[in-house]
Copies of this chain bind each other. A is one copy, B any other.
Amino acid sequence: MKTECINIKNPNAKDLTLPVVMTIAGSDSSGGAGIEADLKTFSAFGVYGATCIAALTAQNTCGVKSFEKTSQGLIAKILKANLEDFYGYENAPLKVIKTGMLTKEAIEEVAKCDIEVKFLIDPVMVSTSGSQLFDLEGIKYCVEHLMNNAFLITPNVPEAKALYGLFDSPSDITNLEDFKQFIVKLQGHIKCQNLLVKGGHIPFDKDGKVSKNGSQIIDILYEAETDKLTLFRSEYINSENTHGTGCSLASAISANIANGRSLSDAIVISIDFIHTGMLQMTKLGHGNGPLNHNITPCTQITRITDMADNNILKFDDNHTFIDYLTSHPKVKQTWQNYVEHPFVKRLAENNLPFENFFYYLKQDYHYLIIYARMHGLLASKAPTYQQTHAAATIIGEIITEVEHHKKRLKAYNVDYERDIEKLQPGKACIEYCDYLLDIGQKEDFLGIKVALAPCLHGYAEAGAYGKKLRTENPVEIPEVYSGWLDEYASDWYSKADKEGRLALNALVRDGITQGRADELVDIFNKVSQLEINFWSEVLDI
C-alpha cells in the first residue's frame, strides 16, 4: 500500500472580532434569497451571521413550490438561544437584526424580545417570481409590533403601496416629486426611524417622469430625525439575475450598519454590491437567476459614485493639495504636533541620548524598506508608464537613503547589517507599516500617494523646524545628529518636497469631489498620527 505523509503548518493566531447580525427570515432552498442570501451577503462584508428560520420553502429560480412554517415554540427557543449567547453581556456583538419573510408566529415572538438592537425590516410580500409570501394580516401585525420605531424599513414600490394602503389610499406616483411626498407620508404613517423605498418598479425618464421606458432608477431614503431625503440614482440594469436582490440589499445594508457605516454610506455600498452581483454572474437556473454574492464588495464611496458637478475641489500650484491637507481642520493640530515633534527639538538641542537615536535609526531602517516596497505597489497601480517609471526611480532614491543611514552609523563603529538587520521593529513601526500595506492593497494610485506624503513632506518641515531651532539657539551637537537634521533641511530634500507637491497636484488636476477629499484627509491624518507615534516611541524607550 502506498503511504504519503503531509505535514500541515499551523497558521498564525489573530484576534479578529466579527460583528454579529441575526437574520429572521425564510429559507430559500435554491440559495439565492432568504437566509441563504443573507448569510452569503454577511460573509461578503466580513460579518458573522446567526439565523432564526421562520419558514422553510421548496423554491427555485422559477418560483416557490411549497413552504412550511416553523412552530412558534421552536422560534421562541431559537431566539432565546441566540440572544442568551450573543446579546447583552460584555463583548456580546449582536447589535443588528434583519428580518425578511416573516410569519405571524415569528413576529409575535420577536415582539416579545426586550432588546436594544437596530431592526432592519425588509417587508417581503411578493417575491420576484410572483408568489405571495406574507399575508395582509401579517403585514398589519408587523407594522404595529415591529416597524414602529424600527431603524430601517426597505420596501419596494408595490410593498410600500401595500403598507400605505393600511392607513390611507395611496395616490399615483407619476413623477419624482410624487415619489418623494409619498415616502415622507409613508414614514409618517409607519413611524419607523428611517425609510428606504426602492424604485426599481418605477423607472424615471430624464425629466423626472415615471415612464416604462425610463432608464433611471431612483431609490429614496427618508431620515425622519434630520428630515432629510437622499436620492440614490442609477442606470437601469438589464439582467435576468434578479432573484433575491431585495433580500440581499437589505442584508448588505445590515452588514454595513453592523460594520459601523453611516446609513447613507451603507446604502451606496449595498446598491453597488447588488449591481455588481447581478452583472458579474453567469445565469443559473431556468428562471430569474440569483446574483453572485461571492464578489469582493467595493467599500470606497467615491469609486462607486459619480462626481457631482457642484462639489468639486480644485487646486493650483500656489495652493497645493498638500497645503489643503495640512491646513484642514481635522489635520492641522496633528500636523503641527508631528513636524514640531520633541524628537526634533531634542536632537537640535543635543538633549537626546544616542541610544534613543540609534533605536530610531533601527526603526527607520525597517520603515524605509516598507516605504520602498510601497513604491513598488505604487508603480504597479500607476495610470501611465511614465508614472510607473517615476515610482521605480523613487525606489532607487530610498535605497540611497538607506545607504546614508549605513554610512552615518559606520562613523560610530556600528555595523549596520550585523547590528540592525536582526533586530525586530517596534510597535509604532509595525502599526505604521501595516497601515501602509493595507492602504497599498485597497487604495488607488492617488490614495497611496497621499498615504506616502506625510513622510516626504513632514520631514522637510521638520528639517526646517530643526534648522530654525539651531539658528535661534546654537548648540554644539554630534555630527550624527547634525548630519541627520541637515539632510532634511538641505536643498536637495527641499527640491524633492517641492516636486512631490507638484506631482500630487498634477494628479488632482481635474479636481476631486468633496467625498474623495474627505477620504484622503482621513488617510493623511492617520499617517501623520502614525509618524508622531513613531517618534514618541523613540523618546519613551
**CB within 8 Å of B: which residues of A?**
1-18, 20, 27, 29-31, 36, 39-40, 43-44, 46-53, 56, 58-62, 65-68, 70-71, 73-74, 77-78, 80-82, 84-86, 91, 93, 180, 184, 226-235, 237, 264, 268, 271-272, 275-276, 279-282, 284-287, 290, 292-295, 298, 304-306, 308, 368-369, 372-382, 385, 388-389, 391-393, 395-396, 399, 402, 440
Contacts and interface: CB of A to CB of B under 8 A. Distances in A.
Given A68-B70, A85-B284, 10 more contacts: A3-B231, A9-B304, A9-B306, A29-B50, A31-B49, A61-B85, A67-B74, A68-B71, A372-B392, A376-B376
B62 A2 contact: no
Nearest to A73: B66
A278 to B, nearest CB: 9
Contacts of A11: 272, 275-276, 279-280, 298
Contacts of A16: 280-282, 292, 295
Can you tell how many copies of this chain the complex includes?
A: 2
A184 B13 CA distance: 35
A2 B264 CA distance: 14
16 contacts: A4-B229, A4-B231, A6-B232, A10-B235, A13-B280, A27-B27, A29-B50, A30-B82, A36-B39, A46-B294, A68-B70, A68-B71, A375-B379, A376-B382, A377-B377, A389-B399
Contacts of A40: 39, 43, 49
Contact of A18 (B53, B284, B385): B284
Interface of A is mostly: mixed
Contact of A9 (B305, B380, B396): B305
Nearest to A8: B234
A51 B77 contact: no
A376 B402 contact: no
Nearest to A295: B16
Given A18-B284, A226-B2, A279-B14, A272 B8 contact: yes
Nearest to A277: B11
A231 B6 contact: yes
A51 B427 CA distance: 45
Nearest to A276: B11
A297 to B, nearest CB: 11
A74 B49 contact: no
Contacts of A47: 294
A30 to B, nearest CB: 6
Given A18-B281, A48-B294, A228-B1, A392 B376 contact: yes
Nearest to A14: B280
Given A7-B234, A285-B85, A229 B389 contact: no
Contacts of A228: 1-4
A338 to B, nearest CB: 25
Contact of A376 (B70, B295, B388): B388
A53 B82 contact: no
A70 to B, nearest CB: 6
A238 to B, nearest CB: 10
B380 A373 contact: yes
Residue among A40, A51, A369, A395 facing the most chain B CB atoms (10 A cut-off): A395
B6 A233 contact: yes
A519 B368 CA distance: 32
B60 A68 contact: no
Contacts of A396: 389, 392-393
Contact of A59 (B71, B81, B284, B374): B81
Nearest to A41: B43
B53 A80 contact: no
